[in-house]
Structure 1
Amino acid sequence: MQTLTAKNQYNFNKLQKRLRRCVGKAIEDFNMIEDGDKVMVCLSGGKDSYTMLDILMFLRQRAPINFDIVAVNLDQKQPGFPEDVLPKYLQSIGVEYKIIEEDTYSIVKEKIPEGKTTCSLCSRLRRGILYKTAKALGATKIALGHHRDDILETLFLNMFYGGKLKGMPPKLISDNKEHIVIRPLAYCREKDISKYSVIKEFPIIPCNLCGSQENLQRKVIKEMLQGWDKQHPGRLETMFNAVQNVSRSHLADPSLYDFKGLRSTSQLENEEGDIAFDKPSIVPPKIDSELYAEDNEPSAEEKIDVQFINAG
């Protein structure tokens, strides 16, 4: 970790507390980790997965329940991949780990034409291998390092390119119904994770397979969201709030709401009713100041009784 001045150390302590608070609240809100769980933390060698592992190891020490952690990395045999970096780091922090060697790189390069994005096939191959590994290890939860910005990017990707109002859930059941996948960083901002990883000096391993692709649709969306965040501070927080505040009756999906069966005598429960003819009024939602507090506010455990939030 970097040697910091007193002022920078103070700011880092706030940053670390904020990230731990966000992870703790996400775990609590979605019941991500339970007593006796064995959590398989998928470690790619990027800033997000390093941060996730670091914070989960801290929370394991403070949590009122017992759970185990095993870090798993998939070595996809990309040319120039530094095979010694992750084992050396994982040994230094004393965590159980497993390195899986599968040559998915050759498969992707063979199947995907030059110039086309490789993410879709690569992710499917990785997913199958990780599910198989989780079963072999007896893991009850699979933790992925996607953060809040990833969730918003996925939402806009599906809207702009897929015609779906679909994001990336903090918790889901796998396609084969055998595993629970969790995203403990769901409430964490990418810019906070980036700062944290630089100060902690995690040994970042770049992904040469997809990281150098300039034509990724996700990259376009990311730049759009980052532009909004700079021009309109707080906009991303507001959008993420919207993902958690859905009105089914004010969308247009008949599979989610019985529009055909709606009659003038229908009893509406927990719906907003007819506001189509009301004067437009945009009221900014209340943003969770506890979650994204930048100043020296009391820590989460001093305000609410949430078992996983021990920001310390």
Structure 2
Amino acid sequence: MTQTDPKKAKLEYNKLQKNLRANVGRAINDYNMIEENDVVMACISGGKDSFAMLDILLSLKASAPIDFEVIAVNLDQKQPGFPEDVLPNYFESINVPYYIIDKDTYSVVKSKIPEGKTTCGLCSRLRRGTLYSFAEKIGATKIALGHHMDDIVETLFLNMFHGANLSAMPPKLRSDDQRNIVIRPLSYCREKDLIRFAEYKEYPIIPCNLCGSQENLQRQAIKGMLSGWEKEQPGRIYNIFKSIQNVSPTQLADTSLYNFSDLQIDRTGDKQEYAFEEEVVSSTSFDDVQYINVVEVN
């Protein structure tokens, strides 16, 4: 049986689809992302991740024990050469309600950011503001973004290396003004699986001409670093992601999360057994002070 055998390809596709669908369902359940009568605004950029997110959300909608709506929304940033007919044709082909927002953020970014500098920061802020405002206009109660596990881990290291803070992109987020809730249904999905899924589905991928060609992006350097780690030790990205779900404030150094200043000794309770607690003291200077039995101290 060859790699191109149709039966084998179908089996692999079914397995991949089932795995992605299960991961999305688990993330939605863990973070209570979607509730009864929610109107989910699925933000579709034209990339593989948002296409897959929309596909899986629609699949879950058909079988979920709760009722919710999914509306596809694309922000047309007026990038030169952007194929404006691709997404409307696709949305109509799968019979999903949709909106196309026309807003020339491309010109704003190009006028504000010097040539050669990264545009992602300003671009994302402009997109976020537009999408937040539009969500209210159409009565959307959740804003779904297509960020996956690799994106979240990359953001963690970007913020550490370049922002000196320990933060990433949470699976569920309430906006600063508390008027919108953002969800990331693909939080438990790996990018490599989404790439394969997109190849099977043959989505009409639209490249981002604004930032996709910027080879000097800090995120690309982080992605390369993590890719190398993953090759050395498969599963490392997953373990890093799990670590941000298992945070111990007492083992970090943020005084706003834990009161280190007022820590006091308390020896009133039962003593725990320490490993290797029976010490052998051979220091010559120790003979000059009163002997203390380190094992029997009360």
TM bucket by the smaller chain? 0.7 to 0.9
> Hey, what does 1:150 align to over in structure 2?
151
Aligned to 2:293: none
**Equivalent residue of 2:101, what SS?**
strand
For residues 223-276 of structure 1, give each alpha carbon's deviation from its aligned partner in whole angstroms, at most 9, with x where no partner exists. Answer: 1111111221111111111111111100000100011121112999xxxx9x9x
Distance 1:21 1:262 in 2: 44
Tell me what 1:10 maps to.
11
- Residues 181 and 4 from structure 1, CA distance in 2 versus in 1: closer, same or farther, beyond 3 angstroms? farther
Q: Which residue of 2 aligns with 1:183?
A: 184
After superposition, the C-alpha distances for 1:156-197 in whole angstroms (9 at most, x for unaligned) are: 001111111111100010122100000000000000000000
Paired residues for 1:13-162 under 5 Å: 13-162=14-163
In the alignment, which residue of structure 2 is the partner of 1:165?
Answer: 166
- Secondary structure of 2:53's counterpart equals helix
Q: Which has the higher contact order (CA 8 A, sep 6+)?
A: 1
> Deviating runs (4+, > 4 A) in structure 1?
none
Partner SS for 2:146: coil
AA aligned opposite 1:147: H
Answer yes or no: is 1:248 the counterpart of 2:249: yes
Spell out, residue by residue over 1:79-123, the C-alpha distance to the aligned partner (whole angstroms, 9 max, x if none).
000000000000000000000000000000001001100001101
| Residue number in structure 2 paired with 1:236 | 237
Q: State the partner residue of 1:304.
A: none
Which residue number corresponds to residue 227 of structure 2? 226
User: Following the alignment from structure 2 to structure 1, what is the Cα–Cα distance between the partners of residues 46 and 212?
Assistant: 13
Q: 1:210 to 1:4 in 2, by over 3 A?
A: farther
Q: Tell me how far apart the structure 2 counterparts of residues 55 and 208 of structure 1 sit (CA, whole Å).
A: 26
- For residue 193 of structure 1, what is the aligned residue in structure 2? 194
SS at structure 2 position matched to 1:160: helix
Please give the secondary structure, in 2, of the residue aligned with 1:72.
strand
Whole-angstrom distance in 2 between the partners of 1:186 and 1:202: 21
Cα distance in 2 for partners of 1:228, 1:152 equals 12
Structure 1 gaps of 5+ residues are 279-312
Q: CA deviation at 1:4?
A: 6.5
Name the residue aligned to 1:284.
none
SS of equivalent residue, structure 2 residue 71 = strand
Distance 1:153 1:267 in 2: 45
Distance 1:149 1:177 in 2: 27
Amino acid at match of 1:226: S
**Deviations 1:250-306 (CA, angstroms, capped at 9, x unpaired):** 0000100011121112999xxxx9x9x99xxxxxxxxxxxxxxxxxxxxxxxxxxxx
Q: How far apart are the structure 2 equivalents of 1:230 and 1:50? A: 27
Q: Which amino acid aligns with 1:100?
A: I
- SS in structure 1 of the partner of residue 82 of structure 2: coil
Distance 1:266 1:169, change over 3 A: farther
State how far apart, in whole Å, the 1-side matches of 2:150 and 2:268 are.
38
Give 2:72's aligned amino acid. Answer: A
Distance across 1 between alignment mates of 2:267 and 2:80: 63
Aligned residue in 1 for 2:282: none
Alignment of 1:279-294 (within 5 A): none
Letter in 1 for 2:88: P
The aligned amino acid for 1:77 is K
State how far apart, in whole Å, the 2-side matches of 1:266 and 1:245 are: 29
- SS in structure 1 of the partner of residue 74 of structure 2: strand
Amino acid at match of 1:207: C
**CA offsets 1:45-88 (integer angstroms, 9 cap, x no match):** 00000000000000001100000010000000000000000000
Measure, in 1, the Cα distance between the counterparts of 2:55 and 2:155.
25
RMSD: 2.1
Measure, in 1, the Cα distance between the counterparts of 2:138 and 2:113. Answer: 31
Looking at structure 2, the residues matched to 51 and 250 of structure 1 have their Cα atoms a distance apart, in angstroms, of 38
Q: Secondary structure at the match of 1:70?
A: strand
- Distance in 1, matches of 2:238 and 2:124, equals 28
Normalising by structure 2, what TM-score?
0.88
CA gap 1:101/1:266 in 2 versus in 1, 3 angstroms: farther
The secondary structure found in structure 2 opposite 1:204 is coil
Percent of paired sites with the same residue? 64
